[in-house]
Structure 1
Amino acid sequence: MPSSNLKISGLSKRYGDFVALAPIDLDVAQGEFLTLLGPSGSGKTTLLSLIAGLAQPDQGQMLINGADVTYVAPYERDIGVVFQNYALFPHMTVEENIAFPLKMRNIAPEQARKQAQEALELVRLPHLGKRFPKELSGGQQQRIALARCMVYRPSIILMDEPLGALDKKLRDHMQLEIKRIHRELGTTIVYVTHDQEEAMTMSDRICLMNGGRIEQLGTPGDLYFNPRTLFVADFLGESNLFEATISSVGADTIGVMLDQGRVPAKTAADGRPLTVGQKVRVMVRPQNLHLSRTPSVDMPGLSATVVDVMITGSLTKLYLSAPFAGDTPITVALPTSRQADSYRVGDTLSLHWQPADAVAIAE
């Protein structure tokens, strides 16, 4: 594994009686793209502010490239920050905006212009150097803000919801652009967002936060397929969560009892042992539920009734009701096709899943 670029140990922050960030430990590898994800008030922006030096922790330690920067001024931390509002100087040209950090570092004007042009080429806007920010689109301004941040090659780039002000199409395009630039530079990026899809698309790892704590840290696949807690299962992506009771515990799979019978599942990745008789929630993603018109001997399935059908584009979503699901509709996602379009409200179907696609999570 690459060496640690950012190492956080026991870092915490309080505002009066409010715990904005409980003591956390976090290692970010050199060249990694780490996303801080979570709902409002989860602590992600507080953590980013502490890394940037815009706030001071109450306790703990932070190292950047092995140097203790816990209480070091922001401009001495070898970091760059990209904000949502771009923060470009309106009276300066694009080239002057990008070269400004170099000017503050006493870089010779000719060298600063050369590096600014290189940064413009990296963000694919070399022809806009003489324009002013007001003459640029939102996407162009964001790329200029990114170029200004990268021009002095900081060790770590922090991004605080940088795409939040853009429309969806432009946001999707900028996600790809930021990933391209990240690959070309190899710089460590710590990225804050509340957008789950954005986090899944861009990250090497996701740090999912809740209530000032790290709920789970791992690759997008880790969090999506192996949630450690009910919060992770419910927050990240769409999921079906069924109340159940453990009926048997095996080496690889367990048995759980729903109202309609025994079904297979696997245990959550938190390492806590499950015991027979224990209450759990079984999580199955909508795309991992399989339907048939009639049950088979190999897969008897669970009976459910279609209550709604929606074509959402490439996916068709079916909503079903069943006693084991309570009042919450079961969501099934199918590729949009003539077969998917053949289901009608009122159809009674057999529902089943593979053991590896169902995760039992302790309540």
Structure 2
Amino acid sequence: MSRSRLMSSSSLSVHGLGKRYGEFVALAPTDLEVAAGEFLTLLGPSGSGKTTLLSLIAGLAAPDDGAIRIGGADVTYRPPYERDLGMVFQNYALFPHMTIEDNIAFPLKMRKVKGADAKKRAAEALELVRLPHVAKRFPRELSGGQQQRIALARCLVYRPSIILMDEPLGALDKKLREHMQLEIKRIHRELGTTIVYVTHDQEEAMTMSDRICLMNSGKIEQLGAPGDLYFRPRTVFVADFLGESNLLPAQVDRNEAGTLAVTLDGGAGSGQAIGNGADLAAGAKVTVMVRPQNITVRPAGEGSGRLKGRLTDIMVTGSLTKLYLEALAPGLPQLVAAYPTRTLSDDHSIGDVLELDWQAQDAVAIPAGQ
């Protein structure tokens, strides 16, 4: 089944797009470009504006400002059915009295596609989601994961140029959700269609996206590849929201070609970090972000003495062992270090004083106030 026969893809752009409900700004004027064939995830906490942005793109809400273009055409005030979009929701919304084959063919029927062609295209869509054997079954005879794949097939069957997905895996358990993530990624690779995906799940966004658009309080906080947001956050919100992190208040001592020497607050010690693009001079207040897996832990007296903490808890999560520590210097937050789990037992005990260190390239200095 060739990509060109089943799907096309279009670019998407929004310029100054905004939405208000009375005095409440659901989406501040926003610019966003999505390339044809890209998988972009809108990520953020509840109330961040991600669902509002998706609803405006879909035509389910009218903007107060700005414009929306799909494939270069202005669709700002076109109804949803004239935008060449497909939508997949958390609720499968399958017709219980119809067979799976008829459920998938229903959008084609609404578009006046004749019987033989509709049947063929429904079969192609079932092949794509790897469920050709369930064509004659009813929704109640399928698992939750299978029903979600059928909902996706029903969207794919009429060949939209852009697919919008709003928390489509939210109702599934963890293992099934991970399986569906891989399935959606596979389908995206095979078809090359443009996908805009909404989720509040950070791991899901990291796993699936070409780029992540992280939103906060109705605005884009940072837009970029998953690795850029995770390892090079521009604000404390991004560092704190996307995964676990140590956020250490500090001051810049000197800046040597982008590598910073910093002194941690509270007399905790010194360290190094790289800048996040801002011009940081000596004396600048910063927050140093270090991911737990990038921290080296040694018994007291065997490390650099840079940062010390007293072990308060040990958590084995499966693949990772996490150490939680109380910083011995005043004014610093709880610290966390992580490393691959090796055995059920560990060399560390609650109450131990440990020394923590990191490499400069594994720490990012974020200007205070960002």
TM-score category, normalised to shorter length: over 0.9
Structure 2 unaligned spans of 5+: 1-8
Among 268, 271, 277, the alignment partner of 1:263 is 271
1:328 shift after superposition? 2.9
Among 175, 183, 192, the alignment partner of 2:189 is 183
Task: Trace 1:185-334 onto structure 2 (pairs within 5 A).
Answer: 185-258=191-264, 259-268=267-276, 271-295=277-301, 299-324=304-329, 326=331, 328-334=333-339
Indicate the residue corresponding to 1:174 in structure 2: 180
**In 2, distance between residues paired with 1:252 and 1:22?**
33
Indicate the residue corresponding to 1:112 in structure 2: 118
AA aligned opposite 1:229: T
| Contact 1:196–1:237, Cα closer than 8 Å, also in 2 | yes
Is 1:359 matched with 2:369? no
Shifted more, 329-338 versus 19-28: the winner is 329-338
Is 1:73 matched with 2:83? no
SS of residue paired to 2:102: helix
TM (normalized to structure 2)?
0.93
Write the deviation string for residues 71-115 of structure 1: whole angstroms up to 9, x where unpaired.
111001011000100111122111111111111111111100000
SS of residue paired to 2:308: strand
1:165 shift after superposition? 0.5
Q: How many residues align?
A: 358
1:267 shift after superposition? 1.0
**In 2, distance between residues paired with 1:302 and 1:5?**
48
Identity %, equivalent residues: 69
Moved over 4 A (4+): 294-297
Indicate the residue corresponding to 1:347 in structure 2: 352
**In 2, distance between residues paired with 1:274 and 1:323?**
27
> Are the structure 2 counterparts of residues 130 and 339 from structure 1 closer, same or farther at C-alpha, using a change threshold of 3 Å?
closer
AA aligned opposite 1:84: Q
Write the deviation string for residues 308-343 of structure 1: whole angstroms up to 9, x where unpaired.
212111111111122347363210001112497111
| Contact 1:242–1:324, Cα closer than 8 Å, also in 2 | no
**In 2, distance between residues paired with 1:262 and 1:111?**
69
SS of residue paired to 2:11: strand
Is 1:49 matched with 2:43? no
AA aligned opposite 1:260: A
**In 2, distance between residues paired with 1:339 and 1:274?**
44
SS of residue paired to 1:342: coil
| Contact 2:17–2:28, Cα closer than 8 Å, also in 1 | yes
**In 1, distance between residues paired with 2:21 and 2:325?**
46
AA aligned opposite 1:316: T
> Are the structure 2 counterparts of residues 355 and 280 from structure 1 closer, same or farther at C-alpha, using a change threshold of 3 Å?
same
Indicate the residue corresponding to 1:337 in structure 2: 342
AA aligned opposite 2:52: T
1:303 shift after superposition? 2.3
**In 1, distance between residues paired with 2:65 and 2:330?**
45
Pairwise CA RMSD: 1.6
**In 2, distance between residues paired with 1:339 and 1:282?**
32
Structure 1 unaligned spans of 5+: none
**In 1, distance between residues paired with 2:170 and 2:250?**
39
AA aligned opposite 1:321: E
AA aligned opposite 2:271: V
| Contact 1:281–1:362, Cα closer than 8 Å, also in 2 | yes
Indicate the residue corresponding to 1:37 in structure 2: 43
TM (normalized to structure 1)?
0.95
**In 1, distance between residues paired with 2:315 and 2:98?**
50
| Contact 2:247–2:333, Cα closer than 8 Å, also in 1 | no
